[in-house]
């Protein structure tokens, strides 16, 4: 991998630098590069200042990276300065690009609210967006702004827009452009595998790996990353057989914990298991308020195995819609194993699904008691033959507790599906 | 603001650099600094390489920034190298810090799976985590790793852990440490306002601002940022009266579009409106699968105004649980204004809530037809006296269409609440 092309991503935008918008583009491009054998050495987020953008691009080019990708700053406002900054950094003057101007005008004409903008303002912004460094390869607008690829000897600067949807599509176009073909061919694709485990913490995995015979690791570079309720192990520079042996050794150390050796998210894993079995799932959510359903339905084609469910944030709904008994609600409480069980069964019965998954808990910051502090979450999974329930105490703030609850509920379903006869 | 302290955030971690985990810490710290008058000039994401981390920190210190904050790389694995890198960058040797070691041991003893890790490995990792640069101020562990503040003349390097939950709490501790007090006092707090508008696009707002009499803008620096279905306008360096006048001028240009002049998210705005009225809302979601409920319940205390709802991903549930008629489902279709109306009314009736909000649409990538292409979404809002419905065609991919649908549904509710007699 020593000849892998090296890349830098320069994310521009005051809104990102000031933390009002989380960066998506840097991580999207990094992930793409990583999956395709390009080594991203740095992601830099800078504000909407022409000199800073120009200096950053110039320094990275001077340091000899093969590829600099910029995102953002191609819009119509006075703080959209990236094209000018790239011109300054590369010493290549901007010029009006005729095909770009035609495409900008066509995109502008079909945009919502086109008529509400005075003609002279529209004309000026259209011309601004059609200025590209001379000799650059234009990338057609996805929204209204074109991007471009600037060749400088063997180096390439790719200028992309800020909205993630536009960026992803324009990057897809860029990667098929002949001017990037040699660089991408040289990258030669991935040599990396991603294993994901549930119910194992980072330090346990570290200890297990340290205790394995050295041959098992086989020279592979390992990366370990903890996520909410999961831990991800990345193997780089490892052959097929070596990855298989290491995966098997981890399975022996933590039976059943590895839920993918090919990097899928848990919602994709349970979706595929349900689809394989021709079965369907429904949810009953209290403290997560729809987060579990939202994650499951983020998978394209989820309608094949997800029917729906209920969000029962208050007790009357738990009783009236799901049939949780007054006795359970008053004796055990809404956050209890008995309630989680009744909710899972109730979701299954209401929707006629094969599986019902429930979450009821205290996400905080209010609502905790000495017996049931914030972070107490009960989850349930009812299937054709069995019902499983679990109680957890999750650390973290409201968002993290809700996220962990959703992740653990999906893993409870995964194990139940694995245990059930196919 | 010319004397505002200047800061740089250095995010470390292969998993972030490679795009497998989106950075949360850089944007959290940037937002905190921005809200507290510290100017973040750059956020840099680097991998788990000691030399790269050390060089980055050293260069920023040499460039004269007042504050460098690092995140990540304080864990137990061999690629956790940030403390060593900061030592290298500052030329201050690491030494075992006794109070840190006691706290690390105490945290380690209560951690899950403590007993499954062999004692000699545990001991080595505990000692590793207790090594701090000499003279640094220790920040007590939130998880297992301590952080620290390293004073170098007037400059400060703050070393924080990577898990966002740990980082946020440790940063809160850091900001109260005497060694940072002078720097934070010098920052002097914010001079910034955030307005957020719905159903206005960026270019319309730019045009409207350009046409306003120059006096209206009053020397303020403006930042405009488009989000899914919303646009955010940030005013910096503006006095109270000036902000008021500019906000009023925008209200005249786009009546009813501004939903906050103080930066709240739409879910907070509708939550507060409902709480003011003593009313409650329920949801009925199809293509968003729970995303609307999840966003509403992300607000702490949502149980005061959110009762729950139903996720009706398939048609049988729309009919059986919400009472959408077979006639509507076969004649108008599941994605129709009639269906959205029936779903909103059904959610209200089922839950006895004051308001019912519905979403039904085609999020793609499959399921589109020539008459109802991917992105077609109908939303409804049923209240005590009225029912409103809207049809939209959203651009974007599955995730963006779902996000836009949720945002537009919350704004439909906001307008209905505004129109209804209080």
Question: Cα distance from B279 to chain A (closest Cα, Å)?
Answer: 14
Residues in chain A closer than 8 A to B45 (CB atoms): 26, 42-45
Give yes or no for A397 touching B (CB within 8 A).
yes
| pLDDT tens figures, A39-90 | 899 999 999 999 999 999 999 999 999 999 999 999 887 778 999 999 999 9
pLDDT at residue A420 is higher than 70: yes
Interface test with B, best of A1, A29, A39, A45 (most B CBs within 10 A): A45
Decide if A170 contacts A139 (C-beta within 8 A). Answer: yes
Which stretch of A1-5, A245-249, B144-148 has the lowest confidence by average pLDDT? A1-5
**Mean pLDDT score, B59-82:** 91
pLDDT at residue B64 is higher than 90: yes
Of the two residues A206 and A71, the one the predictor is more confident about is: A71
Q: How many helices (H) and strands (E) does chain B have?
A: 17, 17
CATH 3.90.950.20 residue ranges in chain B?
A: 266-419
Decide if A70 contacts A159 (C-beta within 8 A). Answer: yes
Does the domain made of A266-419 have the CATH classification 3.90.950.20? yes
pLDDT at residue B395 is higher than 60: yes
pLDDT in the model for residue A366:
92
Give yes or no for A233 touching B (CB within 8 A).
no
Which stretch of A156-165, A191-200, A332-341 has the lowest confidence by average pLDDT? A191-200
Nearest by CB to A300, which of B30, B234, B366? B366
Please provide the average confidence, as pLDDT, over all residues in chain B: 91
Burial profile B187-196: b = 16 or more Cβ within 10 angstroms, e = fewer: beeeebbbbb
Give yes or no for A310 touching B (CB within 8 A).
yes
Give yes or no for A268 touching B (CB within 8 A).
no
Cβ neighbours for A411, distance < 8 A, ≥ 6 positions apart:
A198, A199, A229, A259, A266
pLDDT in the model for residue B76:
80
Give yes or no for B133 touching A (CB within 8 A).
no
pLDDT in the model for residue B191:
61
Of the two residues B207 and B258, the one the predictor is more confident about is: B258
| pLDDT tens figures, A264-303 | 999 999 999 999 999 999 999 999 999 999 999 999 999 9
pLDDT in the model for residue B36:
84
Inter-chain touch A15–B232, beta carbons under 8 Å = yes
Question: Cα distance from B388 to chain A (closest Cα, Å)?
Answer: 22
Which residue in chain B is spatially nearest to A118 when comparing CA positions? B207
| pLDDT tens figures, A151-170 | 999 999 999 999 998 999 99
Of the two residues B212 and B147, the one the predictor is more confident about is: B147
The angle that helices A240-253 and A202-211 make with each other, rounded to 10 degrees, is 110
CA atoms within 13 A on the CB side of B367: 21
Cβ neighbours for A91, distance < 8 A, ≥ 6 positions apart:
none
CATH 3.30.70.600 residue ranges in chain B?
A: 192-260
d(CA B321, CA B310): 8
Cβ neighbours for B367, distance < 8 A, ≥ 6 positions apart:
A303, B374
DSSP code at position A221: E
Q: What length is written for chain A? A: 422
**Mean pLDDT score, B383-400:** 93
- Class (C level, CATH) for A192-260: alpha beta
pLDDT in the model for residue A203:
81
Question: How many beta-carbon contacts under 8 Å exist across A and B?
Answer: 317
Sort A6 into a burial class: Cβ within 10 Å, 0-12 / 13-18 / 19+: middle
Does the domain made of A6-187 have the CATH classification 1.10.10.10? no
Angstrom CA distances, A242 to A103, A208, A210, A221, A285, stand at 51, 17, 16, 12, 42
Cβ neighbours for B241, distance < 8 A, ≥ 6 positions apart:
none
pLDDT in the model for residue B113:
67
Give yes or no for A368 touching B (CB within 8 A).
no
Nearest by CB to B21, which of A225, A309, A352? A225
pLDDT at residue A407 is higher than 60: yes
Residues in chain B closer than 8 A to A71 (CB atoms): none
Question: Cα distance from A27 to chain B (closest Cα, Å)?
Answer: 4
Inter-chain touch B20–A234, beta carbons under 8 Å = yes
Decide if A250 contacts B45 (C-beta within 8 A). Answer: no
Nearest by CB to A308, which of B46, B312, B364? B312
d(CA A166, CA A162): 7
Which residue in chain A is spatially nearest to B12 when comparing CA positions? A42
Which residue in chain A is spatially nearest to B310 when comparing CA positions? A310
Inter-chain touch B206–A76, beta carbons under 8 Å = yes
């Amino acid at each position: 991998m020593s000849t892998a092309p090296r890349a830098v991503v320069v994310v521009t935008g005051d809104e990102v630098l000031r933390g009002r918008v989380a960066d998506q583009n840097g991580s999207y491009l990094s992930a793409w590069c990583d999956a395709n054998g390009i080594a991203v050495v740095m992601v830099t987020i800078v504000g909407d200042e022409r000199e800073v953008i120009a200096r950053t691009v110039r320094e990275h080019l001077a340091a000899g990276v093969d590829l600099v990708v910029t995102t953002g700053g191609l819009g119509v406002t006075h703080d959209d300065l990236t094209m000018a900054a790239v011109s300054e950094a590369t010493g290549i003057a901007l010029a009006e690009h005729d095909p770009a101007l035609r495409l900008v005008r066509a995109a502008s004409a079909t945009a919502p609210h086109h008529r509400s903008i005075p003609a002279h303002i529209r004309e000026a912004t259209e011309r601004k967006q059609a200025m590209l460094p001379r000799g650059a390869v234009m990338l057609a607008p996805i929204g209204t702004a074109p991007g471009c690829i600037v060749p400088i000897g063997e180096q390439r600067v790719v200028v992309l827009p800020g909205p993630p949807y536009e960026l992803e599509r324009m990057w897809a176009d860029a990667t098929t452009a002949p001017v990037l073909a040699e660089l991408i061919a040289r990258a030669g694709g991935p040599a990396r595998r991603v294993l994901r485990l549930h119910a194992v913490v980072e330090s346990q995995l570290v200890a297990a790996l340290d205790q394995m015979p050295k041959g098992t690791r086989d020279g592979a570079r390992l990366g370990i990353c903890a996520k909410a309720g999961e831990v991800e192990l990345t193997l780089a520079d490892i052959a097929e057989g070596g990855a298989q042996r290491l995966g098997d050794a981890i399975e022996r150390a933590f039976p059943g914990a590895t839920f993918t050796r090919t990097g899928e998210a848990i919602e994709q894993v349970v979706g595929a298991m349900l689809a394989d079995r021709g079965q369907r799932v429904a949810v009953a959510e209290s403290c997560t308020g729809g987060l579990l359903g939202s994650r499951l339905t983020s998978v394209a084609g989820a309608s094949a195995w997800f029917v729906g469910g209920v969000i029962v944030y208050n007790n009357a709904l738990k009783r009236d819609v799901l049939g949780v008994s007054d006795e359970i609600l008053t004796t055990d409480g809404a956050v209890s194993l008995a309630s989680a069980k009744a909710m899972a069964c109730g979701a299954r019965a209401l929707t006629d699904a094969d599986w019902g998954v429930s979450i009821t808990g205290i996400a905080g910051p209010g609502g905790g008691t000495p017996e049931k502090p914030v972070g107490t979450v009960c989850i349930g999974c009812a299937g054709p033959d069995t019902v499983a329930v679990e109680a957890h105490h999750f650390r973290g703030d409201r968002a993290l507790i809700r996220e962990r609850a959703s992740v653990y509920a999906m893993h409870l379903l995964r194990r139940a599906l694995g245990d059930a006869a196919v």
